[in-house]
Structure 1
Amino acid sequence: MLTSAELSRYSRHLSLPEFGRSGQERLRASRVLIVGAGGLGSPLGLYLAAAGVGVLGIVDGDVVEESNLQRQVLYTVNDIGHSKAERAAARLSALNPHVDIRPYAMTLSSENALALINDYDLVIDGTDNFPTRYLTNDACVLTGKPNVYGSIFQFEGQASVFHHDGGPCYRCLFPEPPPPGMVPSCAEGGVLGVLPAMIASIQATEAIKIITGIGDTLSGRLLQYNALSMSFEELRLRRDSQCPVCGDLPSIRALIDYDAFCGIPKNLMQESNISPEALHARLQQGENLTLIDVREHYEREICAIAGSLHIPLQTLPARINEFAKEQTLVFYCKSGGRSASARDLFNDADFKRVYNLSGGILAWAAKVDPDMPRY
């Protein structure tokens, strides 16, 4: 039963004929898990806590960074360096003490996803990488939970509801992930700061509709939003009877290695990685190394390692013949993913002394040059 304080707080909901007291009580009895407390997770948490969801779980293993504050509206400068899940829980509890906020300061994995998701009524996907999206999808299908999906990049966003009312799952739309490095992350390609609020508000709306049973959900529909043209498009989706996880004869009956599925090597070839400390020592000793920055131009304007060449990753294949195979080459990017692709490109071309800077320029800033700007 709603308390008198809750009746007052949620009075605008109670005034809605389609919603009313019964709808608010369904919200109060619901359990919602948000995967990711970043750009999407921030407004998701704010709106769902304000709406009066009974139990709101937030899973995220990252800490707050200064570059997050451009769009992750849950946090302040005082939260930098602290757990996103913990700081999000504190902020949301202050917003609505009637909601049971449960932070999980960890990364969702094949080892913990089923047990965690099984404890909730529905899941909202606020992630920003393909392995976790496939993991979230498969765990939702295996536990029978709806998956409220959203994604953002630059000026565009998408939203849908997967595995609900007989509708398709994420794998029905995207059976295979793109090759590693093919799709830039938001960190690499950028994102308009206000874009997550639009997509997250759609996700929150869908979650509330599923919980209360009102309206028509996005199950079987993919909503696409373009902020530059301020336009929406809708694609109709169908469940794939051959889908390996939600199809008629599923082949996936347990969670798998999602990094391997998405083509991400476990150790990113550790034998040809180099730590920031080791690279710094070799440079200090005057060793003849060629340091190559494979980031985009705007990233290099923020920070760069002195003496490095700048060759963006997409232009690198055309310039491979500029280097001698006896050279020692060290590639770096923001966090190590793109530079690992560059290293692999040169390895495949029979270069024998090529390295990837582990952790990228962010690790260099943390371990070698603490005064370097970060992004």
Structure 2
Amino acid sequence: MALTEKEIQHFRHPIAVPGMGLAMQEKLKTSRVLVIGAGGLGCPVIQYLSASGIGVIGIADYGVITDEDMHRQPIYQMQDLRKHKAKMASSRLWATNPFTKHYPLLVQIKPENVVQLITEMDLVIDCSQHLPTHLVVNDACVLHEKPFVIGEVHNWVSWWAGYNIPQPDGAPSASYRCSAALTETYRNFDAGAMGVTHGATGLLMVNEILKYLVAVPDGLVNKLYSMDYLHNQFRSHHLTPDRDLIAQTKAAGILTAEDYGLEIVPDVED
């Protein structure tokens, strides 16, 4: 899909980056991405995906903006309190980049709707920071052969990883379930959330996502990254696909909300 003259002017600086050019910017324009969660982690992800020129961004979030969100979700303003995050995020993003199509989806990700939401997407990015949602996304994406990314931030430490990423030789790549023991070591449910660690993690995720979308090899395939912002310690882990576990996931299909431990919330009345 060719860029218009206005788009070429708008994106002339990234186009000028060595290795990018018009062809790579056009790849971004044809990309369709679903971002789950427009909170502390989802906000920087959708802001920079949009600013980078992704063609279609679906924003799935049924929540509303609260005062305590503001320190780590600066896409919103005080006048937005009690309004739906997905709708306000779409409005703000369009105001800075009208070339991207932003679709607010006021839904909870659950077994009944996940397949419909991921079907037309090239990549799914789960920023919910919610274990049951991660499992729903994992099973649906593995079953329907969709690549996906998951990230979490816990106090000073964060992690993010690419899953189910296609490999040139057809070999399977790791699923989220394959990395469960590792991701559990990074979980810390002590109270509190730093705005800057969410923002920094979101940008690191987007950097890898953009490289994946323009076909830079290896950045997300079987990789889990972590960052300890307090001690400035960055780590890269290699993930090993568990073929038996992946086969079991495909055989079992998408489970019930009860199986996932997912509490279903009432549908949003817009």
| TM-score normalised by structure 1 residue count | 0.65
Residue in structure 1 matched with residue 253 of structure 2 by the alignment:
254
Residue in structure 1 matched with residue 268 of structure 2 by the alignment:
none
Q: Which amino acid aligns with 1:230?
A: N
Q: Cα 1:154–1:140, aligned 2, differ >3 Å: closer, same or farther?
A: same
Q: Distance in 2 between matches of 1:13 and 1:48?
A: 13
Report SS of the residue matched to 1:189: coil
Is residue 221 from structure 1 mapped to residue 220 from structure 2 by the alignment? no
Residue in structure 2 matched with residue 169 of structure 1 by the alignment:
175
Q: CA deviation at 1:253?
A: 4.1
Report SS of the residue matched to 1:58: strand
Q: Which amino acid aligns with 1:102?
A: Y
Q: Cα 1:47–1:176, aligned 2, differ >3 Å: closer, same or farther?
A: closer
Residue in structure 2 matched with residue 105 of structure 1 by the alignment:
106
- Show CA shifts across 1:298-337 (max 9, x none): xxxxxxxxxxxxxxxxxxxxxxxxxxxxxxxxxxxxxxxx
Is residue 19 from structure 1 mapped to residue 58 from structure 2 by the alignment? no
Q: CA deviation at 1:175?
A: 6.9
Is residue 32 from structure 1 mapped to residue 33 from structure 2 by the alignment? yes
Q: Counterparts of 1:279-358 in structure 2 under 5 Å?
A: none
Q: CA deviation at 1:148?
A: 1.3
More relative contact order, 1 or 2 (CA 8 Å, 6+ apart): 2
State the structure with more CA Rg.
1
Q: Cα 1:71–1:213, aligned 2, differ >3 Å: closer, same or farther?
A: same
Q: Counterparts of 1:96-245 in structure 2 under 5 Å?
A: 96-164=97-165, 165=167, 166-174=172-180, 185=189, 189-243=191-245
Contact 1:35 1:58 in 2 (8 A): yes
Q: CA deviation at 1:145?
A: 1.2
Q: Distance in 2 between matches of 1:254 and 1:102?
A: 27
Q: Distance in 2 between matches of 1:104 and 1:14?
A: 31
Q: Cα 1:161–1:177, aligned 2, differ >3 Å: closer, same or farther?
A: closer
Report SS of the residue matched to 2:160: strand
Report SS of the residue matched to 2:195: coil
Contact 1:30 1:211 in 2 (8 A): yes
Q: Distance in 1 between matches of 2:142 and 2:211?
A: 20
Q: Cα 1:31–1:192, aligned 2, differ >3 Å: closer, same or farther?
A: same
Q: CA deviation at 1:128?
A: 1.8
Q: Distance in 1 between matches of 2:18 and 2:243?
A: 38
- Show CA shifts across 1:41-69 (max 9, x none): 10011101100000010000100011111
Q: Cα 1:199–1:259, aligned 2, differ >3 Å: closer, same or farther?
A: farther
Q: Paired residues, what number?
A: 257
Q: CA deviation at 1:234?
A: 1.8
| TM-score normalised by structure 2 residue count | 0.89
Report SS of the residue matched to 1:242: helix
Is residue 10 from structure 1 mapped to residue 11 from structure 2 by the alignment? yes
Q: Cα 1:153–1:177, aligned 2, differ >3 Å: closer, same or farther?
A: closer
Contact 2:55 2:101 in 1 (8 A): yes
Q: CA deviation at 1:254?
A: 2.4
> Can you give the 5+ residue segments of structure 1 that lack an aligned partner in the other structure?
268-375
Q: Which amino acid aligns with 2:135?
A: Y
Task: Report the identity percentage.
Answer: 30
Q: Distance in 2 between matches of 1:265 and 1:36?
A: 16
Q: Cα 1:135–1:177, aligned 2, differ >3 Å: closer, same or farther?
A: farther
Q: Distance in 1 between matches of 2:250 and 2:212?
A: 28
